[in-house]
């Protein structure tokens, strides 16, 4: 599992280490990791041209010590000191002693890489115009030190001007901005340098293949179709029968023993999945996908069964209070904006804040769909999904995801974990199916069993 800790948690853990190691040792460890990552990124050191943008304090110190290491190995290193008198004195001395050059912005030369050491995790969002002007002068890949300068570290928001990096080298642990959009998009690839910090439980996490494998439901030797779980679908309508078909395909992924369908698209559903049966007892319901005017009644009927409910699309329009049963709400940004009565742009620019707000307001797990899907539980953890491909942005993919997550709920996973596992599996299936090319929702649904099979066989063998 990849954990992302807040600035406060990182600072507290660093203080413990700083109290027991020699002065400067922690920074040297970080700078050594940064220098190694830069060498790998460049592919060579001797003769490479490196430009350091150095801000005040420790972030600039990391950049200077790393620059000193590269200069000693034959790199041509220039540094623009944006921190003025607050430049890290020891780091600057080491840098000069190694042959590194300090230049003014007007003296900046062509370079192979720009090292963003302007603002670290202690900074506030946004960059001064002076820093942005220097960045705009250079056309070269950017490697950020710890975080891209200017992003909001704890929320992943980018309300002001900020660095957009090709690689971010971070220290000790990931931070929320490395996982959560829109800041995650500014990080590029993320490389973690271990500092030996003793960190607490993180509230922002990303499942990896081994955790997903451990959570996936598997039949016991004495299992039968009812003990494996039964998921019910109250989805689709005369206007949108395809939503019912896609939800049924997502639910019929082999992770439960039976799928039931109740709705107006029975003929279409049975045409693609004849194993699906009609009304009866279930362990979880999926409601709302393509439900149209039928969604309100479907939601009330599902609540009456007193089992967990996944509520999607049209079902969300009829939810004005916390559900009376355990629930997973699966909105996209526009639907969540309507639920919270805020502009859609607000949700897209601050997804973590709004997913948490919705989870608390409705007392339910909330799966906010997006490039980095978030699954938030009330007052608790947020799971960030890092699998998938841009080709997954296709009509009907959400219906497949709803069916899949509903099946996982019926198989026994609590709603927040069903959302986290389901979004991971769907993203992994999409990447296996068509990482670099188009796919359709029905293709995605049919790819899920194969992805699950490979994950259960070898969790390390896949594009995840």
149 is in an annotated binding site: yes
Note down pLDDT in tens along the chain; length 464 residues.
999 999 999 999 999 999 999 999 999 999 999 999 999 999 999 999 999 999 998 999 999 999 999 999 999 999 999 999 999 999 999 999 999 999 999 999 999 999 999 999 998 999 999 999 999 999 999 999 999 999 999 999 999 999 999 999 999 999 999 999 999 999 999 999 999 999 999 999 999 999 999 999 999 999 999 999 999 999 999 999 999 999 999 999 999 999 999 999 999 999 999 999 999 999 999 999 999 989 999 999 999 999 999 999 999 999 999 999 999 999 999 999 999 999 999 999 999 999 999 999 999 999 999 999 999 999 989 999 999 999 999 999 999 999 999 999 999 999 999 999 999 999 999 999 987 899 999 999 999 999 999 999 987 777 77
Residue 312 marked as a ligand binder = no
Instruction: Phi first, then psi: give them for residue 434, nearest 5 degrees.
Output: -160, 65
- Residues 329, 346: one domain? yes
Q: What is the pLDDT of residue 169?
A: 98
The whole-model pTM stands at: 0.96
> Known binder of ligand: residue 61?
yes
Question: How is residue 264 written in tokens?
Answer: 């107006």
The per-residue pLDDT for 180 is 98
Kindly report the number of other CB atoms within 10 A of residue 8's CB atom. Answer: 10
- Is 406 annotated to bind ligand? no
Residue 451 annotated as lining a ligand binding site: no
Residue-range definition of the domain harbouring residue 260: 209-457
How many residues make up the chain in this entry? 464
Q: Count the domains in the chain.
A: 2
Rounded distance between C-alpha atoms, residue 447 and residue 429, angstroms = 6
60 is in an annotated binding site: yes
In a domain, 462, yes or no: no
Q: Is 344 marked within a binding site?
A: no
Residue 378 near residue 360, CB atoms below 8 Å: yes
CA distance 68 to 149: 21
- Is 360 in the same domain as 406? yes
C-alpha–C-alpha distance, residues 431 and 142, integer Å: 27
**DSSP class per residue in 195-237:** --------SEEE--HHHHHHHS----TT--TTTT-EEEEE---
- What does residue 102 show for φ and ψ, rounded to 5 degrees? -100, 130
Q: Are residues 195 and 315 in the same domain?
A: no
Domain identity same for 270 and 418: yes
Residue 279: the pLDDT is 97
Q: Tell me whether residue 292 is annotated as binding.
A: no
121 assigned binding-site residue: yes
Question: Is 120 marked as binding a ligand?
Answer: yes
What pLDDT was estimated at residue 360? 98
CATH code of the domain covering residue 402? 3.40.1190.20
Encode pLDDT of 166-197 as tens digits: 999 999 999 999 999 999 999 999 999 999 99
Q: Is residue 196 a known part of a binding site?
A: no
- Is 308 labeled as ligand-binding? no
Give alpha helix (H) positions in 19-118: 25-42, 57-72, 89-97
Beta bridge partners of 143: 115, 167
Residues 6 or more apart whose CB falls under 8 angstroms from that of 459 comprise: 209, 210, 212, 213
Cα-flanking dihedrals φ and ψ of residue 60, to 5°? -65, -35
Is the same domain home to 53 and 187? Answer: yes
Chain mean position to CA 463: 16
pLDDT value, residue 435: 78
Q: What is the pLDDT of residue 104?
A: 96
**Rounded distance, CA 442 to CA 419, Å?**
20
Pick from 365, 460, 348: which is nearest to 421 by CA?
365
Q: Which pLDDT score is estimated for 256?
A: 98
**463 belongs to a structural domain:** no
**Is 290 flagged in the annotation as binding?**
yes
Residue 365 tokens read as 């797990």
Domain boundary, last residue among 203, 231, 260: 203
Per-residue confidence (pLDDT) for residue 236, from 0 to 100: 97
What is the model's pLDDT at position 459? 79
Q: Is 58 annotated as a binding residue?
A: yes
For residues 130 and 157, membership in a common domain is answered with yes
Q: What integer pLDDT is reported at residue 436 of this predicted model?
A: 83
Q: Is 446 annotated to bind ligand?
A: no
On whether 369 is known to bind a ligand per the annotation, the reply is: yes
The residue from 163, 187, 203 where one domain ends is: 203
Same domain, 385 and 436: yes
């Amino acid at each position: 599992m990849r954990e992302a800790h807040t600035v406060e948690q990182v600072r507290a853990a660093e203080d413990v280490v700083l109290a027991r190691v020699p002065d400067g040792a922690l920074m040297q460890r970080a700078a050594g990791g940064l220098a190694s990552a830069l060498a790998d990124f460049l592919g060579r050191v001797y003769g490479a041209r490196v430009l350091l943008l150095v801000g005040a304090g420790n972030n600039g110190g990391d950049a200077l010590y790393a620059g000193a290491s590269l200069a000693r190995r034959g790199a041509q290193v220039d540094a623009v000191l944006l921190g003025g008198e607050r430049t890290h004195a020891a780091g600057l001395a080491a840098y000069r002693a190694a042959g590194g050059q300090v230049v003014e912005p007007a003296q900046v030369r062509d370079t192979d890489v720009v090292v963003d050491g302007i603002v670290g995790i202690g900074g506030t969002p946004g960059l001064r115009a002076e820093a942005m002007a220097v960045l705009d002068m250079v056309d070269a890949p950017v490697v950020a030190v710890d975080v891209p300068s200017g992003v909001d570290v704890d929320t992943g928001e980018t309300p002001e001007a900020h660095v957009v990096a090709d690689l971010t080298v971070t220290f000790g642990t990931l931070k929320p901005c490395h996982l959560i959009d829109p800041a995650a998009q500014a990080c590029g690839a993320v490389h973690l340098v271990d500092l030996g910090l003793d960190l607490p439980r993180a509230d922002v996490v990303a499942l990896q293949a081994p955790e997903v494998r451990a959570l996936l439901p598997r039949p016991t030797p004495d299992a039968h179709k009812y003990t494996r779980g039964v998921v019910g679908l109250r989805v689709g309508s005369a206007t949108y029968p395809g939503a019912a078909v896609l939800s049924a395909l997502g639910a019929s992924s082999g992770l439960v023993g039976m799928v039931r369908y109740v709705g107006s698209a029975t003929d279409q559903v049975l045409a693609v999945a004849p194993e699906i049966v009609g009304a009866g007892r279930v362990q979880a319901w999926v409601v709302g996908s393509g439900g149209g005017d039928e969604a309100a009644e479907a939601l009330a009927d599902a609540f009456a069964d007193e089992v967990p409910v996944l509520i999607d699309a049209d079902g969300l329009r009829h939810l004005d209070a916390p559900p009376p049963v355990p629930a997973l709400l699966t909105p996209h940004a526009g639907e969540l904006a309507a639920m919270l009565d805020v502009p859609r742009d607000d949700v897209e620019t601050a997804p973590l804040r709004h997913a948490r707000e919705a989870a608390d307001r409705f007392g339910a797990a909330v799966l906010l769909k997006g490039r980095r899907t978030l699954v938030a539980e009330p007052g608790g953890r947020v799971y960030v999904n890092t699998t998938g491909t841009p080709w997954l942005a296709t009509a009907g993919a959400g219906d497949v995801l709803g069916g899949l997550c509903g099946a996982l709920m019926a198989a026994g996973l609590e709603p927040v974990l069903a959302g986290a596992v389901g979004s991971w599996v769907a993203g992994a299936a999409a990447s296996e199916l068509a990482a670099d090319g188009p796919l359709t929702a029905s293709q995605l649904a049919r790819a899920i069993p194969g992805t699950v099979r490979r994950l259960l066989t070898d969790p390390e063998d896949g594009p995840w």
